[in-house]
Amino acid sequence: MSAPTPIVLDAPTAPLDAQVAVIGSGPGGAITAALLAEAGRDVLLIEEGAFLQLESCTPFTLDEMVQKYRNGGITPALGPTPVAYVEGRCVGGGSEINSGLYHRTPPEVLERWRKEFQVEAIADADLSPHFEACERDVSVSRLPGAAPAASLKLHDGATKLGWKSLEIPRWFKYDGTSTSPNSGSRQSMTRTFVPRFLAAGGRLLPKSRIRQLRSEGDMWLASGSHADGTRVEVRAETVFVCGGAVQTPALLRRSGIKGNVGNSLQLHPTVKLTARFRDRVNASDMGVPVHQVKEFAPRLSFGCSISALPYLELAMSDHPAHLREVTAGWERMAIYYAMIVSGSQGSVRAVPGFGDPLVRYRLTPEDMKLLAEGLAKLAEMLFASGAEALFPSVRGVEPFRSMDDVRRLPSMLPHGRTNLMTIHLFSSCPMGENRDVCAADSFGRVRGMKGLHIADASLLCTAPGVNPQGSVMAFARRNVLNFLGRG
């Protein structure tokens, strides 16, 4: 028996029918769609962005930001200090644009979710098989060769201070040679679960945005539009919403589904420093820095960010008088970050007449103090590793050239002048059996809505303090197998 022919649809001219519609093709959606299709279900996977291969552009460039990011990667969560957040907008979602650094959900976080949100079946015995399966499927592994120099600088500084520093594994398949051992390819969804989904007979509808869901008896009607303006209508017995922590609650709220939806957004606020060293730490083929410092986790975590030339220029925008230094000396420069677990919650609201939802996030004075503490500790590590100048992402603050300069930093970073960002958003539709706070049950079923499920980062109950995509994948796998009666 021959394998099914992969089906990627153009703009539909008539309503589409499916047993299951999966809206969003990031890690949650792609895993859900692939496992359902492999179980013999008729599945339509719908994605707002285009179907692009990893090779469609050079990773971590301006071209990639234009092709694969929503709004070029500069969407703000509004508040006294806005937080710029990043969303993928392409088949594969965030897995196509991020660094692919992988973490399991920390045990203490899972225990909190069990107690406060009453999430069922999240003991180690429940989740380990799902983590292990996902790790095999996306080839989670450590570098076979030496880490990039910029990554080693952070590790060296932490080691000199006696702080815990780790190499974080990635979902990456290495096929390097003795001269280039770290070469290979990121195992994003377009390299792993999307091909599996198509090989199992699933249908993919890219460039199509679903704007509203409506229950019609035992069916769901998902309506929206294709990028060319064509109307899109999909009828399905079951719908999995997998648009992420912003787009999922926005779609549900536009559809009149509001119970504990979009009220509890959490994220990892992140402040950055650009460091200049005396020796070379950067190169056009540097790759992804892999070290993170977890001495003060979960409150504070530190790492080295992507430091390609366009990213350096953007990071130095708070120091316009020093921009020329990037052009002349970018090979001696790299970007580092301090990430906090905030006690704040934000909101996501659909706004009539606007394409994008309104996202609010108000950082507390305690958050701004913790960010200042993180910035100071990050500076201490980088000076210990030999940095000669540090440029914090705070307007009006002069570059640090010694720890004496760092000590003059305010104990609380100033609202309005601190440039913050995040790539980790979650918790806007938390799961669990605590009906006072949870939008979905422990397995992602939306309360009171037969046949409607969520499978993305919005289900995670609180900020996990680590990259959430390992958690998203494991819970998506657990939940879809439960749906299929296999878990």
Q: Which residues are catalytic?
A: 424
Distance CA 90, CA 54 (A): 11
Which residues, listed in sequence order, are joined to residue 170 by a DSSP beta bridge? 101, 141
Distance CA 428, CA 149 (A): 37
Distance CA 480, CA 257 (A): 22
Number of other CB atoms surrounding residue 72 within 10 Å: 13
- In contact, 212 and 251? CB cutoff 8 Å: yes
Residue count of the chain: 487
- Rounded to 5 degrees, φ, ψ at 65 are -60, -40
CA distances from 16 to 237, 239, 351 (A): 12, 13, 27
Distance CA 468, CA 313 (A): 28
Q: Which residues lie closer than 8 Å to 180 by C-beta, 6 or more apart?
A: 145
